[in-house]
Amino acid sequence: MQFHSPTNTQPQHTRKVTPSPKLQKLQFESNDAFDSPTKSKFEESIKNCKTVKEFGRLIKANGKILKSPHYLRAALRKLGEFKTEMNSRDVAILLHVFSKSNFASKVVDLYRAILTLLSDQALVTLHEASAKDVSMTLHALVKRHVGNAELFRKAAEHGVTVIEDFNPEGLSNMLLALAKTNSYSFEFFDRAAKIAASTMQNKDFNSQSLCFVVDAFTRTNHYDRELFLAIERKAIPFLDTFRPQDMNLLIGAFANSEHDCKDLFDAASKTIMHKVEYFNTMSLCHFANSFAKCGYKNPDLLDTIAEKEILFLHTLDAWPMSELLSVFVNVDYVHEALFQAAKSAVVHRMPSYEPNELITITCAFSKVESFDMADVFTAAAEAAELILDTFQPQEVANLLEIFSTIESFSESSDHLFCMIASLVLSNPYEIDRWDSRNLVDVAVAFAKGGVTNTNLLEVIGRTIMERGDLFPPYGTRRKTIQRLLAAFVGYETPSAVVVMELVFREFASLDKSQIEFSFVMQIAKALPYGQRNGILPYGIFKQISDIALAEGNEAEVSSLFRCYAQLGFEGLLVSSKRGGSEGNTDQE
């Protein structure tokens, strides 16, 4: 018996699907290897488009080819020809098509020119636009960060006139577009809230639409209790169908609102615990942080998150690991197994971290107070020493700031400080890389950590005084004064004395309204230093006394009086109380 093979022997899963004749006519090969005749054919097709709709179909079918600057220019020229013919529907469709394309950086200017042209035409045709057209237009422009304030403002006004015609997707896109561009319209949001709240159960609001609505109203601080109740009732029954990103958006938006959302959070917690394997570390951290923001704490959820994450701690990068630890620290929930497992995983991986990763993870562990994390800090210090020459000045300052707050200051930590001092002092060119504020941060960290290095302090003091850029004519001066005070008040090297003289002088120049009593006491405690070195400016005692008597309570004034007594100026406060002038005799 003879068997005949079938005519089509190609397996079904590899069968090539032939486009329809209509699509074949429009569509061209869109990879980099297509030949010049095909290119010419496509450009010719752009030129031969007789209507906007024909042009739109061509662009939609050949979006990948438009990544070429050559064809974007051809498309831009054709749009210029069609500009006066386009109605609101044409503009909305073209914006939708162009906004879905991913363009390379080399053509971004051409791409923005096309979107700007369409945006301008959208403003011209706005008066005739349907609800769908307005929503599509704004959604596309926001997606690509294009558009002008006038268009969004007038779109909100026009949206009120067609608000009954929006479907759930269009309404949610419109609301979020207005919220993201600071084009808030009370009338539009108020009408939208009432319509959405009354139709929520009957209309098809999917998870994304619900999230967009909550996000929009939260961003604009427009709280409507009935709307939020309706969204909560709508969302709870089908939370298990939400994608992780939609669940994150919904929970985060409710957490930022004024709404009491315990029922939603209870339901969300159960869903997360039931489907915990579907959520990555950052999503779980986002949930826990959102709950914590509202004071909602669910130990069962935290245990579930910890048990799931313990299995994968050895695979986590520094940022997710630090976020995970921060969640448990922020809600003051001690999970011993998680902390111990994280400690083991990090100590093992510490040598592989980049500077910013090392800083991030060390900062996270520095906030864990329930366990001895000395091994982590030792590993971090040793790892940092190996790559110290790759750190940027700001990164060095950040790392020192963290180590200066750690109580279990080890030998390795002390050695790290010495290494950093050597790095800064190594050659005259090294210190030129450092911003003056970073140098002050280093000096403060040494002081807080109890590490003394007078050579480093002398160089830092001399450098920042030579530059003279610590007190620009803008920004806060108080914080800079406080940091200089913390760094230099314990030293009497030549440059330290000069810096402290600057500190007293800058304090004396501050307006009284900028000075709190706690700041006054910081300066008062440094007065003996100023007296010893003869650097106290005229009038500083009276300035301090006046603020103390105006803002301090009895105990605080007594504390200041004791400070004055140590200096032999106990009569100054008494004189100030009497309204005398003796307070001006600062150093007599």
Q: What is the value of pTM for the model shown?
A: 0.70
Which H helix or E strand runs over 555? helix 554-567
Domain final residue pick, 118, 135, 165: 165
Q: Is residue 581 part of a domain?
A: yes
Sign of the Cα pseudo-torsion (459, 460, 463, 466, in order): negative
**Per-residue pLDDT of the chain in tens (588 residues, 90 and over written 9):** 343 444 444 444 444 445 454 444 444 434 443 344 455 676 778 888 888 888 888 877 776 556 678 788 888 888 888 888 899 999 999 998 888 776 666 788 888 898 899 999 999 999 999 999 999 999 999 988 887 889 999 999 999 999 999 999 999 999 999 999 999 999 999 999 999 999 888 778 888 899 999 999 999 999 899 999 999 999 999 999 999 989 998 998 898 887 888 999 999 999 999 999 999 999 999 999 999 888 888 999 999 999 999 999 989 999 999 999 999 998 889 899 999 999 999 999 999 999 999 999 999 999 988 788 889 999 999 999 999 989 999 999 999 999 998 876 667 788 899 999 998 888 767 788 888 999 999 999 999 988 889 999 999 999 999 988 887 665 578 889 999 999 999 898 999 999 999 999 988 888 877 788 888 888 888 888 888 899 988 888 888 888 877 777 778 778 777 777 777 665 455 445 544 444 444 443
User: 58 with 94: CB under 8 angstroms?
Assistant: no
Q: How far is CA 558 from CA 473, 487, 544, 566, 579, in A?
A: 36, 27, 13, 13, 18
Question: What's the angle, vertex CA 186, arms to CA 182 and CA 188, rounded to 5?
Answer: 95
Which residue, 65, 134, 130, 127, is CA-closest to 96? Answer: 134
Cα–chain-centroid distance for residue 383? 28
Q: Is residue 229 part of a domain?
A: no
Domain final residue pick, 121, 146, 165: 165
3-state DSSP of 88-117: HHHHHHHHHHHHCCCCCHHHHHHHHHHHHH
Which residue, 39, 90, 44, is CA-closest to 65? Answer: 39
Phi and psi torsions of 355, nearest 5°: -50, -50
Residues 528, 538: Cα–Cα separation, whole Å: 15
Q: Is residue 353 part of a domain?
A: no
User: 322 with 360: CB under 8 angstroms?
Assistant: yes
What domain range is 121 assigned to? 21-165
User: 535 with 504: CB under 8 angstroms?
Assistant: yes
Residues 581, 457: Cα–Cα separation, whole Å: 39
Q: Is residue 514 part of a domain?
A: yes
User: 66 with 59: CB under 8 angstroms?
Assistant: yes
Question: Which one-letter amino acid corresponds to residue 248?
Answer: N
Q: Is residue 327 part of a domain?
A: no
Range 409-415, long-range pairs (CB < 8 A, 24+ positions): 409/449, 409/450, 410/374, 410/377, 410/378, 410/381, 412/377, 412/378, 412/381, 412/382, 413/377, 413/378, 413/381, 413/449, 414/451, 415/381, 415/385
Phi and psi torsions of 332, nearest 5°: 55, 50
3-state DSSP of 444-509: HHHHHCCCCCHHHHHHHHHHHHHHCCCCCCCCCCHHHHHHHHHHHCCCCCHHHHHHHHHHHHHHHH
Q: What's the alpha-carbon Rg for the chain, to the nearest Å?
A: 33
User: 127 with 93: CB under 8 angstroms?
Assistant: no
With b for 16 or more beta-carbon neighbours within 10 A and e for fewer, the 164-191 pattern comes to eebebbbbbbbbbbbbbbebbbeebbee
Here the tokens at position 128 are: 């005739």
Q: Is residue 190 part of a domain?
A: no
Which residue, 52, 24, 49, is CA-closest to 38? Answer: 24
* DSSP secondary structure code for residue 4 in this structure: P
Question: Which one-letter amino acid corresponds to residue 134?
Answer: V
Count of structural domains, the chain = 2
With b for 16 or more beta-carbon neighbours within 10 A and e for fewer, the 466-484 pattern comes to eeeebeeeeeebeebbbbb
Domain final residue pick, 142, 165, 188: 165
Q: What pLDDT sits at residue 302?
A: 95
Q: What pLDDT sits at residue 587?
A: 41
Question: Please, which residues have CB within 8 angstroms of residue 171's CB and are 6 or more apart in sequence?
Answer: 135, 163, 192, 195, 196, 209, 213
* Residue 119 Rama label (left phi>0; alpha psi -120 to 50; beta): alpha
Question: Which one-letter amino acid corresponds to residue 89?
Answer: R
User: 187 with 160: CB under 8 angstroms?
Assistant: yes
Q: Is residue 31 part of a domain?
A: yes
Which residue, 451, 350, 468, 446, is CA-closest to 397? Answer: 446
Q: Is residue 12 part of a domain?
A: no
Sign of the Cα pseudo-torsion (473, 479, 484, 489, in order): positive
